[in-house]
Amino acid sequence: MSNKQYKVGVVGAGAVGGEMVRILRSRNFPADEIRVFARSERDEEIDGETFHVLPTTLEGMAGLDFAFFAGTEGAKGASQVFGWDAAAQGTVIIDNGNDFRMDPRVPLVVPEINPEALDSHQNFIANPNCCTIVALMALGPLHRAFGIERIIASTYQSVSGSGGAAIRELEKQARDYVAGDPISATEYAHQILFNVIPQVGGLQSDTPGYTSEEAKMLFETRKILGDDQIRVSSTCVRVPVFYGHAESLNITFRNPATPEDARRVLGEASGVSVVDDVDNAEYPMPISAAHLDDVIAGRIRRDDTCENSLALFVAGDNIRKGAALNAVQIAETMIARGLK
């Protein structure tokens, strides 16, 4: 086993960037140096360890083996400005943002699902959208086993997917409600407390009527599973939950699949925990998935409205497996495959 150590950078010191640092430490990633970058220089404490945060520059990233770009979903900038130039210097870029996911040069990877895509990397790899990752942890093994024709997805997405300001706004709305004060909304178009908002992202010209988040579910699923024939229709909804995305999935397969078949396949899948006992009120929930590495799958049952169809429910931590953990696993997989 190699004892090689790597120099690692984390670009972004917010919720995802901090979680990346925690995961690098907790998983004993072979890093002899971790540099943290942000817009401004400062000291940042992460789990009792103080990091001197550097301003993000190409020169500051010189000599890094891996650089994790931790931008919040939808936030653009850092990887556009620095990504390809840093890759040309020999640094492997693992980008959590949306800028290059559909770029044909860039593998889009969930390590448990399509690690072989890393073999053709050009020092630039994209992390999928958090909802795509949570869904595909279940859908990927089922696709391999039975072949997926169509997916109907309804998502229930926590406010942490919008960043720290949205978390603070939900907290403030709760405090204002208890105090009897007026409730204001700035992060979303509507109050999120005691509400659900059926819009995540803006409308897409190439997918009329669907938001950007819903379009990602279609295009990213096809790219990761390597099948442009899969049909996906999704409705993405923001809910008043701090951490953890949940998704209702109705799946039509090319080949017959029973609930028992699905439980067996998912029970054997890496990174998936099957929790499926309605009689005892045991099923996936965001509050159960928060801070877990695994995605939880349950409520597995027949969908009798279509032949060869099942319905199920999944939940996963959008900041952990939906972002930071998946990115670190990409680097671990590259090392294991001898790609770095």
Q: Would you please indicate which residues are annotated as catalytic (active-site) residues?
A: 130, 245
How far is 333 from 314, CA to CA, in rounded Å? 24
User: Which sign, positive or negative, has the C-alpha torsion 198, 110, 71, 95?
Assistant: negative
Q: Locate tokens 């009798």: which residue?
A: 304
β-strands 295-302, 309-316: how paired?
A: antiparallel
Assigned token pair, 16 = 């995802």
Cβ atoms of 131 and 155 within 8 Å: the answer is yes
Cβ atoms of 327 and 97 within 8 Å: the answer is no
Beta strands (DSSP E) in 103-147 are 124-126
φ, ψ of residue 314 to 5 degrees: the values are -130, 155
Cβ atoms of 5 and 155 within 8 Å: the answer is no
266-269-271-274 Cα dihedral, nearest 10 degrees: 20
Q: How far is CA 211 from CA 132, 174, 255, in A?
A: 14, 28, 31
Nearest to 29 by CA among 83, 79, 66, 72: 66
How far is 4 from 239, CA to CA, in rounded Å? 44
> Which residues contact residue 293 at a Cβ distance below 8 angstroms, ignoring those fewer than 6 apart?
271, 320, 321, 325
Residue type, 330: I
Residue type, 255: N
